Structure 1
Amino acid sequence: MSFPRYESYKDSGVEWLGEVPEHWEIASLSRLFSIKAGGDVKTEFFSEFQTENHPYPIYTNANNENAVYGYTSKCNYSPNTITVSGRGEVGFAVYRDHPYDAIIRLLVLSPFGTGNCKFFSYFINVVINFSVQSSAIGQLSTQQISPYKVAFPSFEEQQSITNFLDCETVKIDALIAEQQRLIELLKEKRQSVISHAVTKGLNPNAPMKDSGIECLGKVPEHWEVCAIKRMTLLITDGAHISPETGGGVYDFISTKDISDKGIDFEGCLKTTSSSYEYLVRTGCQPICGDILFSKDGTIGRTVVIKEQRDFVVASSLIIIRPDSDILDSSYFNYLCQSSIVVQQVEGFVKGAGLPRLSIQNLLKVFGVFPSFVEQHSIVTFLDNETAKLDTLTTEAKTAITLLQERRTALISATVTGKIDVRGAGLS
């Protein structure tokens, strides 16, 4: 879809904005809006529930529509207001068309006169995102945002632009949502394929036996069902001390460094030689063939150590060393990703704020183990099948990125007057 440009333009006087339509105005945000910092919750009266006396939501995050309710020190912000994130998610603006009690950690922009706040929220996202990209802004204050320049047409044209963007962004957001649903379905399919292979095997005609475990059902007759600890040589966690990091040279890996792509050695903490040597002596160094299993925060994320490397791990990770005579590391890694292990682990997790899994509870988890030869066959099969699903997932994520870029570019071009959408028909 292509759109025409306006008939004539003028220099905006703003370097990043360049030319704008000749009939548009230029003004600073402080001329158009009252800009204040949001209120604070009085914690002694704080409640998770809406009350009769305080019926309006308190927004604590500009990119999160979840609301909480309670008594506040600053109340009753009017509707037709814009909120801008000041910390954590700098560069996100949201238009509010209803009243609310307070805003926490957000800036509140209330218009002085008439104007389409939805139009200005679109524009503010563009100007703030440009500012964030071109400078190291860690926190937006009222003083920082006040001088920002915005370009705008008449109220009627603002409304026309807003209607167009509302319509087009809804379409793009629907396409993004479809790709996100596809990613979830692929994730479910991936676990289903893994779970079936490591609990039922690859031979549909294999004789089956009752596993004796209700959630597992029947398994191939010649497979062994036992606690995973019986198939391993070592199950221990990492460092329970805070290692020295000043001038560190050795990799210190924690849960945050583990992902589906492997271990992030580039972004991890580094520890000193003395701390590294101590942690090696106390059993915090994995070896080739070990599996790392996350037990704090994000539970159950796993990775196989494919090559020997000098690094140590934090207490948030469990080191599992399979008995290489009877258990293939890659098979065990797939077993840990199966629904049968995931369900057991979830039942042992404690803590709401920071979920944790103890080693003692991991030792209670059972698995299903075929012969060593059959383990290899299952690994080969799953490597091929998961690679196909992972490719589809990557394609879906790429599509989302392109759609998000398209959305951003369309908003930017429209609210800065680079394209004229006044004649665009809305469908």
Structure 2
Amino acid sequence: MAPEGGGSVIRRRFKYFMPERNEFSTTGEETLLSVSEYYGVKPRSEAFDADAAEGRAASLEGYRKVRAGDFVMNYMLAWKGAYGVSDHDGIVSPAYAVYKINPKYADQRFIHHRLRSDHMRSAFRARSKGIIESRLRLYPDAFLSMELELPDRTTQTAIADFLDRETGRIDQLIEKKQRLVELQKIRRLSEVSQLLSRGTRSPMNWKPSGLDWMADIPEHWQWVRMKDVCSEVIDCKNRTPPQVDEGQYWVIRTTCIKDGQFVQSGGYPTDEAAYREWTKRGKPSPGDVLITREAPMGEACLYPDGLSACLGQRMMLYRPDPKIVRATYLVHTIYSAIGQHYVGLRRKGSTVGHLRVPEVHNFPCLLPPLNEQDGILARLDSNLDTYTKLGESIRASINRLKEYRSALITAAVTGQIDVATWDKQGQTDRRLDEIEEAMQA
């Protein structure tokens, strides 16, 4: 069949219209690109670098070149959807695969949407090799041998135009709701900072805080360092514990901690021998406070119950003295204006910074008596429910928008809907209104 016109469909192996591009940078000075599960291929930002600094190569010479319009795949995460068509020239890790799209047969935008549909993600997962899910790999030879049905170029372009427009609308709503989530965080930070510098009731006497950006503080409160209120401050071993997929112990990495919460999926398993070696300085236990030194810096949370784990690189923990300070109070201190100012000074204007071990020991804390700490924590707990419910509602709305976006892409690229009449029927408007009404309920 002809590749264009007449509503025809062709079925071809990827290797015939998307051959691999094997070009490599000689300087490493091109724009570094990242490949995400949601957006596909984008220039890597400083914020992303901070999260991914661990394991980052010192030189990018020898990285794979990418041309605008190329299809880029992280074949180690293809089963999760980490691929897409790049809008930018740049470079990616040599561990990624880069494919040139032949414009005679395929609209680059259509390929981006088609391959990121649920149907294709399932197909890629089925063709990936590996014993366990976290080790699945879709190697280039397996990808290139797969087949894809392609409608004529005119139809591809019409579908791509439709999806660019409709997904753009959905993405704008998602970004708006993500900004609401960030606004909630700012409001919560303001409340925490106010209570941790002023308390729940006005004292009789005040004294200067000693900081040019902070007002007076209660006279009986004390400035202390974390090491002054902890029985131990434990640093990690300066090497990465081995990953052992069948291991019964867990390695806590910096990616395990986000916004004061513990995210176990950010770490990985290891065996008993490694656990014993990496806990010689001390075993983490409930009541401890975990803190990240880098990538990202200054994230903290309580150590979770029921977990046998060791610290990975760039991790430390505080063991609060319960006669002096509550563990949760220390976590709030790290996220308060006091803690964020301290972290910000060490970031020196860059999102990629680090706390040195002595700086973790000397982290400042404005300390009231235990009974006042309890009052502050009770007030924060009583207001937390409001923030939590609103945050959960916004995040649920975001998830529904993402699900609808994914379903719309799949329906359009597989011919389940008529993109020419969709707008006239007001389908997207109705679905978006339903999602918004569900959030207000």
- Cα 1:179/1:145, change in 2 over 3 Å: farther
For residue 117 of structure 1, what is the aligned residue in structure 2? Answer: 108
For residue 47 of structure 1, what is the aligned residue in structure 2? Answer: 29
More helix by share: 2
CA contact (8 A) 1:183 1:393 kept: yes
- Cα 1:109/1:339, change in 2 over 3 Å: same
- Cα 1:376/1:140, change in 2 over 3 Å: same
Structure-to-structure mapping, 1:4-403, within 5 angstroms: 24-30=8-14, 33-43=17-27, 46-47=28-29, 61=35, 63-66=40-43, 81-90=69-78, 91=81, 92-94=83-85, 96=87, 100=89, 105-111=96-102, 113=104, 116-126=107-117, 128-136=120-128, 138-141=137-140, 144-152=143-151, 154-204=152-202, 207-240=205-238, 248-259=247-258, 260-262=260-262, 264=264, 268-272=268-272, 276=275, 282-305=280-303, 311-314=309-312, 316-348=314-346, 355-403=353-401
Deviation (angstroms), 1:141: 1.5
CA contact (8 A) 1:37 1:142 kept: no
Q: Which stretch shifts more, 227-236 or 202-211?
A: 202-211
- Looking at structure 2, the residues matched to 244 and 125 of structure 1 have their Cα atoms a distance apart, in angstroms, of 33
- Cα 1:37/1:128, change in 2 over 3 Å: farther
Deviation (angstroms), 1:228: 3.0
Q: Which structure is larger by alpha-carbon Rg, 1 or 2?
A: 1
CA contact (8 A) 1:294 1:316 kept: yes
- Cα 1:73/1:255, change in 2 over 3 Å: closer
CA contact (8 A) 1:27 1:151 kept: yes
- Looking at structure 2, the residues matched to 75 and 296 of structure 1 have their Cα atoms a distance apart, in angstroms, of 29
Deviation (angstroms), 1:380: 1.0
Percent sequence identity is 22
CA contact (8 A) 2:255 2:267 kept: no
Calculate the TM-score normalised by the size of structure 1.
Answer: 0.76
Deviation (angstroms), 1:174: 0.9
CA contact (8 A) 2:71 2:85 kept: yes
Give the letter for the 1:65 counterpart.
Answer: K
- Looking at structure 1, the residues matched to 184 and 320 of structure 2 have their Cα atoms a distance apart, in angstroms, of 29
- Cα 1:60/1:172, change in 2 over 3 Å: closer
- Cα 1:364/1:124, change in 2 over 3 Å: closer
Deviation (angstroms), 1:417: 0.8
How much is the aligned-residue C-alpha RMSD, in angstroms?
A: 3.9
Calculate the TM-score normalised by the size of structure 2.
Answer: 0.74
SS of 1:383's partner is helix
CA contact (8 A) 1:345 1:362 kept: no
Q: Provide Cα deviations, 1:293-331, integer angstroms capped at 9, x if missing partner.
A: 222432222222465865443453322222222212221
Deviation (angstroms), 1:119: 2.6
Count the aligned residue pairs.
388
CA contact (8 A) 1:350 1:357 kept: no
Q: Provide Cα deviations, 1:102-141, integer angstroms capped at 9, x if missing partner.
A: 7774433332626543233322333541322334351341
- Cα 1:313/1:95, change in 2 over 3 Å: closer
Give the letter for the 2:19 counterpart.
Answer: I
- Looking at structure 2, the residues matched to 257 and 155 of structure 1 have their Cα atoms a distance apart, in angstroms, of 45
- Cα 1:306/1:324, change in 2 over 3 Å: farther
Give the letter for the 1:119 counterpart.
Answer: F
- Cα 1:128/1:145, change in 2 over 3 Å: farther
- Looking at structure 2, the residues matched to 182 and 75 of structure 1 have their Cα atoms a distance apart, in angstroms, of 37
Deviation (angstroms), 1:232: 2.5
- Cα 1:262/1:74, change in 2 over 3 Å: closer
CA contact (8 A) 1:263 1:303 kept: no
SS of 1:319's partner is strand
CA contact (8 A) 2:114 2:413 kept: yes
Deviation (angstroms), 1:89: 4.8
SS of 1:212's partner is coil
CA contact (8 A) 1:107 1:142 kept: no
- Looking at structure 2, the residues matched to 359 and 301 of structure 1 have their Cα atoms a distance apart, in angstroms, of 15
More strand by share: 1
CA contact (8 A) 1:209 1:221 kept: yes
Unaligned runs of 5+ in 1: 1-21, 49-56
SS of 1:133's partner is helix
- Cα 1:144/1:257, change in 2 over 3 Å: same
Q: Provide Cα deviations, 1:357-401, integer angstroms capped at 9, x if missing partner.
A: 223122333221112111001111112223322332222222222
CA contact (8 A) 1:40 1:73 kept: yes
- Looking at structure 2, the residues matched to 348 and 58 of structure 1 have their Cα atoms a distance apart, in angstroms, of 25
